[in-house]
Structure 1
């Protein structure tokens, strides 16, 4: 590995570990402190933490790769994501922040859903936790695949070593620093990603002569958003935005902000960061296609176009910083997913289902052990480097979006959503997505669409046929609405 690259990457790893150590020293050894940072995130940290944990390695590898292959027709994913993120801030964030505090001060999404209804909600908590563990393990493996590909293509190291280094550093700061470490590292990683996604496409554009003409010569459809693209394909791409309402690692950030009054500031910061970052990623793929054609650059894997441009165009020291942005994107998402998975295993399964009398320190210990366990399983799944990063992320995103999205929206906006409506709706969403993937119907339409519709319909139907929440729980819903209004 080049010395300059080693300095850049090594410095990045040390900074992440130092933040983890700082968070460990400033995190109380209790459940709310470890899993939610004591609900004390500032708007800037919350917004960039949500954004960085959302935009995993796919924004620097998967999305540019899709843009490199298909051109502007891939931009529909970006359109759907931007709209979905904005609606998430406006619709979900304020109600979830207030409601989770009213609902027994819930610190996890399964805990909130279980407390929302007229009994202890253990069946719903357990199902929610299992859905989180299954899909987040898959999601985490996508991040580790990206880490392995980065070390293999950029640093000439083995794919397996890349997986181990990426996992090792993430586990270290997540294990000890908990939610505060994850949020603070996400903030720093979000800043690095933002700079990289501005610098690389802009510099590559200035070095490419007549990039538009080059793209037209390669394939005129690269510059068309609709030509050659079916309506179903557009719906499938834009439907990625539906997933936001059900992503536990993103919406849990809304629960941790200091005050609901600071959410508009967080929304402006978060949406500004996201719009620039997403369109920067699209620019990397499109300009990268023109650049590689003009300078006869071999691109064997389109998902590595950001890596290739960084190494060719920039000095190794700067290239190391830019490649650290990929690690930032990968690690910020993995750490968030590990923490949410650990919270489900420790709080929702261990504490609420098996050890109700466990102390806070015992729950935190189980949470830390869960971080290691989930990462080991995800690392084993990631050993197959042939998997597409965007494909893995797409499957997990659909699973969460269909299982949790309709239930979260109904729980926050419809007071008559029943306990069994939520249970059946969640199971339906997850099962439909898994069956759709298993039957290979993703080419027909993105699996989140049938999964979301089926879950929403079943949740409403079963709620109309089963008892409503108790008057006490309905009064809690009304109090949430009163505070929001």
Structure 2
């Protein structure tokens, strides 16, 4: 008997059984749309913080970003993890959480497109935002499946297609039956696995014979990078800054991340979630990139010839014993499952609440929309899995495919560029107008398309206009154009705006006193 494979398979089976049990025991907590989507807005600080962190990080960071940026930038890539923790977690919670919670409760909105409709008094904005969510979150979802597929193919020798199909099935089961409460509980469990797993992974990778220990490995990585000619250049600094901004500030405009602010229980939970999610993001982010830096020692000069998406799976398969390899595989699976459930909830809610109920069947009952939300979620999972399988097929046939990092970057860039300005100014600026929101959304799509075409047709611009940079440009555009256009266009009803802001402020004062 192959005991190594038996140990790894046993750990995987235990994890899958555990997630199915979570779905079974929480199945009665998703009877309404509010239950399925928001957990009845009653989630505690720890649950919300872990849900935030595990949705933020997935196979994209562990497999895609750590493998590519850890090799390309070395220790400088750690700034991405620091930026994620400070800007993407701490500052985001401080600036956005309380106001989002209070204003969306007053407006009675459950999704970002619904918020745009109510805040800017335009039902067409809800349709446009819903379509953008559905279309542009799918590539990100597919990139998560891609990362899982490469890892399990390397660790278990399972064909890519079967990995994707099994993971899609598992995500569909516990999301369909348990809704957001099941997701939050599983996120908490998965977050603990991720936290412990990253610490264990760092310990064993740095104690691998080719790395030689933590302090010795740190010194050896710098020497090896210098020997391989991997020093940072001006273009490299530009690319690193763009990655930090996209993955940190860009999260402020992502529906699946912002969604967690809707669900948190109260002021005390917000304060707790701020600290917990920041520490979680710091450990996970910095830890992942730190491991990515070791590929130059483990693989040496051959690291450059290994596809970026496959460096970390191969590194883990070489450096970890069977039992721990099984644990780390579950770590990445945990990160990915929670991200997939968050993405699926965002896409299916946009399709069912913002499009079906908003335009197709306006008199639909809560029960009908709840079933619709779950069924569309299953369809979304299937489409995402298909995109991942097709992308892998293209790579096998042609040797070329869109990498995980590019899939994720394009998705984050468009969504953040469309929504970040309208969302932030909608919470804080009484003069923000629906015309400015249209300018942000439509302008972002046009800018992304134009810059992407330029980057592909003008080789000299490829290093500057790479996907993360395009995303940051659209984010800057949205933040600047929203207040500018708002100053020259008609604002929503003053009565509605005053009432909404007054109610939000009153709730803030009440919760802060309590």
TM-score normalised by the shorter chain: which range applies?
over 0.9
- Cα deviation, 1:248-268, whole Å, max 9, x if unaligned, reads 111111110111332111110
Measure, in 2, the Cα distance between the counterparts of 1:224 and 1:92.
39
| 1:199-227 CA distance string (max 9 Å, x none) | 11122223332323432442228999955
Q: Distance in 2 between matches of 1:388 and 1:129?
A: 26
Q: Secondary structure at the match of 2:492?
A: coil
Q: Contact 2:436–2:486 at 8 Å: present in 1 too?
A: yes
1:341 and 2:343 are equivalent in the alignment: no
Alignment match, 1:101: 105
C-alpha spacing 1:478/1:26, structure 2 compared with 1 (3 Å): closer
Where does residue 184 of structure 2 map in the other structure? 183
What's the counterpart of residue 68 of structure 1?
A: 71
RMSD over aligned CA atoms reads 2.3
Cα distance change, pair 19–438 in 1 and its aligned pair in 2 (3 A): farther
Contact 1:72–1:224 (Cα < 8 Å) also in 2: no
Q: Which 5+ residue runs of structure 2 have no aligned equivalent?
A: 393-400, 456-460, 510-514
Residue 367 of structure 1: aligned partner? 373
Local SS of the residue matching 1:370: helix
Task: Indicate the residue corresponding to 1:388 in structure 2.
Answer: 403
CA distance in 2, matches of 1:33, 1:212: 48
In structure 2, the partner of 1:82 is 85
Q: Deviations over 1:280-309 (max 9, x none)?
A: 101111134324449x99983443444334
In the alignment, the residues of structure 1 paired with residue 284 and residue 452 of structure 2 have an alpha-carbon distance, to the nearest angstrom, of: 29
CA distance in 1, matches of 2:320, 2:489: 63
TM-score normalised by L of structure 1: 0.93
| Aligned twin of 1:263 | 270
Q: Deviations over 1:453-477 (max 9, x none)?
A: 2223332233223221212222212
- For residues 154-193 of structure 1, the aligned pairs below 5 Å read 154-193=155-194
Aligned pairs for 1:317-336 (under 5 A) are 317-336=323-342
Map of 2:21 onto structure 1: 18
Q: In structure 2, what is the Cα distance between the partners aligned to 1:128 and 1:221?
A: 49
1:198 offset after TM fit, Å? Answer: 1.1
| Alignment partner of 1:289 is 2:313 | no
Of 271, 281, 296, the match for 1:274? 281
Q: For 2:83 and 2:186, how far apart are their aligned partners in 1? A: 27
Moved more, 91-100 or 231-240: 231-240
In the aligned structure 2, how far is the partner of 1:22 from the partner of 1:379? 27
Does the 8 Å contact 2:150/2:309 carry over to 1? Answer: no
Bigger shift: 136-145 or 387-396? 387-396
Q: Deviations over 1:330-352 (max 9, x none)?
A: 21111110111111111111112
Q: CA deviation at 1:174?
A: 1.0
Tell me the residue number matched to 2:416: 401
Contact 1:122–1:353 at 8 Å: present in 2 too? no
TM-superposition CA deviations, 1:22-48 (whole Å, max 9, x none): 221232x21111111101111001001
Listed one character per residue, the Cα deviations across residues 432-459 of structure 1 (whole Å, up to 9, x for unaligned) are 2243234326631401222122223332
What does residue 453 of structure 1 align with?
A: 476
Other-structure match for 1:464: 487
CA distance in 2, matches of 1:180, 1:231: 42
1:477 aligns with 2:495: no
> SS at the partner of 1:60?
helix
User: Which residue of structure 1 aligns with residue 512 of structure 2?
Assistant: none
Structure 2 Cα separation of the partners of residues 353 and 222 of structure 1: 58
**Cα separation, 2, equivalents of 1:148 and 1:92:** 34
The aligned runs of 1:78-157 (5 Å cut-off) are 78-85=81-88, 86-103=90-107, 105-117=108-120, 119=121, 121-157=122-158
Counterparts of 2:28 and 2:363, CA distance in 1: 26
Whether the 8 Å contact between 1:216 and 1:223 is mirrored in structure 2 is: no
Deviations 1:401-421 (A, max 9, x none): 111111111111111101222
TM-score (norm 2): 0.88
1:72, 1:225 within 8 Å by CA — same for their partners in 2?
no
2: CA distance between counterparts of 1:17 and 1:242?
34
Q: Is the 8 A contact 2:72 2:230 kept in 1?
A: no
* Structure 1 counterpart of 2:463, from 426, 439, 443: 443
SS of 1:443 mapped into structure 2: coil
Determine if the alignment matches structure 1 residue 431 to structure 2 residue 465.
no
Q: Which runs of 5+ in 1 are unaligned?
A: none
1:214 counterpart = 2:220 = yes
